[in-house]
Structure 1
């Protein structure tokens, strides 16, 4: 029996997997928490 490789399907499967991994990484990335001076913000809004 001969075995055929479905190259197009393999490429599509790899592309789907890469997109899925990229999406998971993008969604799980967290922003850096910056130190915020609350008093300074209050002073800005009071102006």
Structure 2
């Protein structure tokens, strides 16, 4: 008995999964900002 694959749907499912994985990778690459010293940043602009 032969099985017919829906190739277009298969490609779309793979693309959705790959996009989710790449979005997670991009978010993981961003540095986490902790304890920002606002006064120091303002002083650096004054220079």
Query: Once superposed, what is the RMSD of the aligned Cα atoms?
Result: 2.3
In the superposition, the TM-score normalised over structure 1's length comes to 0.59
Match of 2:20? Answer: 20
- Unmatched tracts of structure 1, length 5 or more: 32-37
Divergent runs of 4+, >3 A: none
In the superposition, the TM-score normalised over structure 2's length comes to 0.59
Residues 1-33 of structure 1 deviation map (CA, whole Å, 9 limit, x = unaligned): 3310100000000000100000000111133xx
Equivalent pairs, count: 37
Max radius of gyration: which structure?
1
